[in-house]
Amino acid sequence: MHGEEQKWVDEAIRTNWVSTVGANINAIEEQIAEYVGCKYAVALSAGTAALHLATKLAGEKLYGQAKPNAGTLQSHKVFCSDVTFDASINPVAYEDGEAVFIDTEYDTWNMCPEALGKAFEMYPDVKLVIVAHLYGTPGKMQQIKEICDKHGALIVEDAAESLGAKYKLNGKWVETGTLGNFNAISFNGNKIITGSSGGMFLTNSKEDAEKVRKWSTQSREAAPWYQHEEIGYNYRMSNIVAGIVRGQLPYLDEHIAQKKAIYERYAKGLADLPVKMNPWDRENSQPNFWLSCLIIDKEAMAPQVRGEQNYLYKHESGKSSPQEILEAMAAINAEGRPIWKPMHMQPIYRTNAFITKEGNGRGKSNAYIAGTGIDVGADIFQRGLCLPSDNKMTAEQQDKIIEGIHKCFL
């Protein structure tokens, strides 16, 4: 927080505009649309709400309006990023669709275009792809968009973690949040800028913006009374949350610079260890560096086993494991986390199909077997971890973390 946020929150309270209409909402919609380079932004209660309505809208455009009490996807398969938070994927279930998980690639830790191509060979009727940009790093959108165009598929872009990141599409730099047919960003409490909560649907279509805005206000019709002719949701952003976002937005570029400096300090400080930082395509992308992560080299991995909620690890000289490092950081009151557990490994989605670049399709996930090189997402989950990345962290605090990581490899 910088102080500007308080000004707009106080104005909302002083003027009694504290609900889901007000000057802050109007202003932040215009400002975000201008920043990312789209025509319309619809302020919603969460990034998840934006993803849900984006997915619902895609289903309606592809398959028509749903039957009563049915979702718009109605048992249709949807290709989805595998290494992501489940908020990217759950809207498919909300809309009665079936997620098919596409394996990750090592270059950016995002959806693998080769695996996506194999998936279309196996399921040629699929017409919707949901792509997330992991930890603020854009995926290979040029290839993904070309594959989707070839198969007549639409894209829902989950840019919740990547606001302010840029990607070179057809030789031109564009912001994430504009790369799909339907796009979503988040202002959750942990994002690059925050409203404590909140999100936005981004589009160049006035019709789509109006549809999402209507759905987000319980699908009220233009009648003197409450008239409802389709299912709606209480998904509109409050004017107070919008005030916080309005105060944060001027600092977005500053936050990105701070996050980049954190990433670069880690990269320099850990350069002598058998680890690598989370990668990005330096020619075609500019991440927002939301989270700094590392992955341990295969030959430097100490034994580690994970169950559903518990784990075991063993220290070996010159080696370490994510759980050992996470415990070492916790001991100095620094919070790290495992990499997102792949969706195809999650109990609620283990019966869903999972497609690798080799074209392997599985109903249930097998545990990662070192050296196979097949399940990339499971490998990154096994060997990787998210490092403390708070932009308020001092260089001295970060040095203590780097020192603690070094001790794990002694």
What are the two backbone dihedrals, phi and then psi, of residue 371, each rounded to the nearest 5 degrees?
A: 95, -10
Q: Which of 56, 118, 191, 319 is catalytic?
A: 191
List the beta bridge partners of residue 154: 128
User: 400 catalytic, yes or no?
Assistant: no
Q: Provide the 10 A C-beta neighbour count for residue 335.
A: 12
Q: Which positions are catalytic?
A: 191
